[in-house]
Structure 1
Amino acid sequence: MPRCQNCNFKWSWKDVMALSMKGKKECPNCQKRQYVSSRSTFWTTFLITMGFLMPMNVLRYYYEIGWPLIILAFVIYIPLVLMLTPFLYKLSNTGKRFGKTVE
């Protein structure tokens, strides 16, 4: 689980899920605003996307599985990913989008 950059408080899974939905949240311990780091956002998105697209493309091309199985795999994959992504996040004191600081 990620830790606050100010007080090193370890966030709970529930707090990190709320942070991921809004993009910013106050630390439950020190009340300083924390953001998901831009690097963490990039790598999480990359891993989620490639973790589904690459295997599905291989299965579709080589084994010719149908769209219903791909949709079923997607329906199973998304909740699993949503439960695991908070473990991949790192926190930051500043919010950045495309290299610019956002408040």
Structure 2
Amino acid sequence: MPHCQNCNFKWSWKDVMVLSLKGKKECPNCNKRQYISPASNFWVTFFTSMAFILPTSFLRAYYEISSSWIFLAIPIYLPLVLLVLPFFYRLSSTRKRFGKTIE
């Protein structure tokens, strides 16, 4: 789980999920605003998309499973991805976009 950049407080899974939906959240311990780091945001997006693309292409190519079965598996697969994602986030005290600090 990620730690606050100011006070090194370990965030809970619920707090990280709120942060991932809003993009910013105050630390529960020191009340300083925290953001998802740009590198963390990139890698979480990359691995989430690859987690969908690679298994579906592998299953269709080698096992000839139809698209309808793959779409039926998504409601099972999506909660698993959401359970694991908060463990890969890193926090930042500043909000950056395209290498420039915002706010």
TM-score, scaled to structure 2: 0.93
CA deviations 1:46-86 (Å, max 9, x no partner) are 11111220121121122221112110222211111111111
State the match for 2:32 in structure 1: 32
Match of 2:84, SS state, is helix
Tell me by how many angstroms 1:98 deviates. 2.5
Equivalent residues, number: 103
Q: How far apart, CA to CA, are the structure 1 residues paired with 2:99 and 2:59?
A: 37
State the match for 1:47 in structure 2: 47
State the match for 1:5 in structure 2: 5
State the match for 1:88 in structure 2: 88
State the match for 1:66 in structure 2: 66
Tell me by how many angstroms 1:102 deviates. 2.6
Identity within the alignment, %: 66
Q: Which runs of 5+ in 2 are unaligned?
A: none
TM-score, scaled to structure 1: 0.93
State the match for 1:16 in structure 2: 16
Runs of 4+, deviation exceeding 6 Å:
none
CA RMSD across the alignment: 1.1
Q: Which runs of 5+ in 1 are unaligned?
A: none
Tell me by how many angstroms 1:87 deviates. 0.6
